Amino acid sequence: MEQSGASGVSVMRMSIIVALAMSMGLPSAAFAQAQCSSLVSGGACTCAKPFVPDIPVAELSNVAGGVQVTGREGLTPTTSLTQLYVGDRVVIRNGGSASFYFGSSCSGPLAPNTSVSLSAVGSCACIKVEQPRAAIRPAPANATPAAVPPPATSTTTGSSSAAGIATALAAVGVVGGGVAGALFLIGGGGGDDEEPVSAE
Give the DSSP letter of residue 53: T
pLDDT of res. 71: 87
Is residue 83 within 8 A of residue 55, CB to CB? The reply is: no
Q: Which residues pair with 70 in a beta bridge?
A: 75, 89
pLDDT of res. 179: 59
pTM listed for this prediction: 0.56
Mean pLDDT confidence for 13-35: 56
Contacts of 157 (CB under 8 A, 6+ apart): none
When pLDDT is cut at 50, 70 and 90, the band that residue 142 belongs to is low
- Residue 145 in any domain: the answer is yes
- Residue 15 in any domain: the answer is no
User: By C-alpha distance, which of 75, 104, 93, 47 is closest to 188?
Assistant: 93
- Residue 108 in any domain: the answer is yes
- Residue 43 in any domain: the answer is yes
Structural domains of the chain, count: 1
| Model confidence at 49: pLDDT above 50 | yes
Q: Checking DSSP bridges between strand 74-76 and strand 97-101, what pairing results, if any?
A: unpaired
- Residue 1 in any domain: the answer is no
Sheet holding 174-175, edge to edge: 74-76, 67-71, 89-92, 114-121, 124-130, 47-50, 179-180, 174-175
Q: Which residues pair with 75 in a beta bridge?
A: 70
pLDDT of res. 85: 94
Contacts of 1 (CB under 8 A, 6+ apart): none
Is residue 185 within 8 A of residue 166, CB to CB? The reply is: yes
- Residue 120 in any domain: the answer is yes
User: By C-alpha distance, which of 44, 5, 42 is closest to 125?
Assistant: 44
**Cβ neighbours around 1 below 10 Å, total:** 5
| Model confidence at 83: pLDDT above 50 | yes
* Element of type H or E holding 184: none
When pLDDT is cut at 50, 70 and 90, the band that residue 23 belongs to is very low
34, 73, 101, 131, 200 from 166: Cα distances, Å:
27, 32, 18, 11, 31
- Residue 21 in any domain: the answer is no
pLDDT of res. 74: 85
- Residue 22 in any domain: the answer is no
Determine the structural domain holding residue 162 and report its residue range: 29-180
Q: Which residues pair with 82 in a beta bridge?
A: 60
pLDDT of res. 19: 44
| Model confidence at 181: pLDDT above 50 | yes
More confident residue, 74 or 21: 74
